[in-house]
Amino acid sequence: MPKTLKIVLWFLIMLGFVFGFAGLVFPGQSPIVEILPPDTYQFQRLHIFLFNLVSGGTVLLFFTQGRQKLSRLVGVFMLGSIIFSVSVFLNHYLLASFLAVGLALAVEVVRVQRFSFFPRDFFDSKVPVARKFHQAALLCLSLGLLIAAFVMLDNQYFHWINQPALNVDDFFLGFSFPISLLTFSVMFSLAKEDTDKRIRFLRELSFWVINLGVIIFFVFIILQIFAMQIIVAFLLFFDVLLVFFLFKYDSQPMEQLNFLISGIYFLIMTSITGILLTLEETYLPSLDPHSWAILLQIHAYLSIYGWNLSGLTVIMRYKEFPLHLHNLEIILIHWLVISLLAPLGSLYAPFAIIAIPVFAILIGLILFDRGHQDFFQQTSHIQVNNIT
């Protein structure tokens, strides 16, 4: 990845991270995404979009094309996604809807160039699961943008679907899913080829459970069927454990392993906090709402800046490994900021003041640090499998 793109990504990720604390400064803000009056500007939207859609989407397309430099199409996507994010922040939904359609078309151009228009690979047992997850990430991004356009237009103008849970802010959280799918793709690409039919079956099972499970989960959220939400949440939790087992079972000793294992632990914690939040909404409404607000922030940060950032760490520097970094120190800083400082900082200013510079250093290390050349040198000969 070229240095200029890394600098831009550092700036975008940091800007999104800082916007997460905007509720401490600007009036009428909330650390929790919610439906707002038309004249209210919610900085939480920029907090989510600048990381998930702008940074994550750009990295996904850049990684898919596999070029040394940023292509014109991916550059247009990055610029367009920034304008889209600002448009939604300013509540200009008509402009944002047109931009969402254009961005989806750009994603589809990249996907069709790499794969095919119809995702027939999904139904071919001979196709590696890594390739399936990769195409699913692109398809999820393009479909997510198209559905987002429809949701914005319907909420503001058409009012065809009368579902309170189908609103812009709740739906936009789904933009984190393409990064998750790409991370799964990289994880399975790093695993050794396995001829065991049971392992191949479990890999296929994990692919379908994750993709269909998340879709079904969102449907139950929209329909507000809480009992089914809990069942699917537990199913996804066990599937995450299955992926963790498969990754550990098949993984080779390499530097990327530590970042991805840390990411899986973030994902496991995200699943647990997500189940607790679902239970709270239905069965534990009498408990202290302030405590649940903190839990919600922990859940959001573990998902977006924990699990997804762990995956992006490997993806953004995919062709540069081994990096010879002090993995343990970076991972510990990552956990300190994301599981403690940032969630508390969204509610209490002193923690935010500490979290911002520490996170800036963390992203700088992730993007630019070369570490020490004698670190992990014993594994530098290992070749990483291409996602084909």
The dihedral region occupied by 91, where left means phi > 0, alpha psi between -120 and 50, and beta the remainder, is left
Would you report the helix, strand and coil content of the chain in percent, each value rounded to 5?
Answer: 75, 0, 25
Identify the CA nearest to 92 among candidates 54, 169, 22, 38.
38
DSSP class per residue in 105-140: HHHHHHHHHHS-SS-GGGG-TTS-HHHHHHHHHHHH
Question: Where are the chain's structural domains?
Answer: 1-26+40-191, 256-370
pLDDT (0 to 100) of residue 221: 80
Residue pLDDT tens, the chain, 388 long: 888 999 999 999 999 999 988 878 776 655 444 445 556 777 888 888 999 999 999 999 999 998 889 999 999 999 999 999 999 988 899 999 999 999 999 999 999 999 989 999 999 888 899 999 999 999 999 999 999 999 899 888 887 877 776 777 666 667 889 999 999 998 888 877 766 788 888 899 999 999 999 889 888 888 878 888 888 889 999 999 998 888 887 777 677 788 888 999 999 999 898 888 878 766 665 556 566 678 888 888 998 899 999 989 889 888 776 666 667 888 899 999 999 999 988 888 899 999 999 999 999 988 887 765 443 333 333 334 444 4
CB 363 within 8 A of CB 10: yes
Report helix angle 256-282 to 177-190, nearest 10: 140
> Tell me, what's the pLDDT at 30?
54
Q: Take residue 357 and report the two structure tokens written for it.
A: 């510079």
d(CA 269, CA 275) in angstroms, rounded, equals 10
pLDDT of residue 372: 52
> CB-based contacts of 233: which residues, under 8 Å, 6+ apart?
217, 271, 274, 275, 278
Residue in 212, 134, 209 with CA at minimum distance from that of residue 178: 134
Nearest partner of 137 among 228, 241, 62, judged by Cα: 62
Residue 175 confidence (pLDDT):
86
d(CA 60, CA 368): 19
Q: Which among 264, 266, 267 is positioned nearest to 336, based on CA atoms?
A: 266
The pLDDT assigned to 29 comes to 59
Structure tokens at 309: 């950032």
Contact yes or no for 176/216 (Cβ under 8 A): no
pLDDT of residue 333: 92
Give the closest residue to 293 by CA, choosing from 52, 51, 39, 34: 34
Give the pLDDT score at 383. 38
Indicate the SS3 state at residue 197: helix
Query: How many C-alpha atoms does 174 have within 13 Å on its Cβ side?
Result: 26
pLDDT at position 132, please?
A: 94
Q: 354 — alpha (psi -120 to 50), left (phi > 0) or beta?
A: alpha
Token readout for 172 is 């936009």
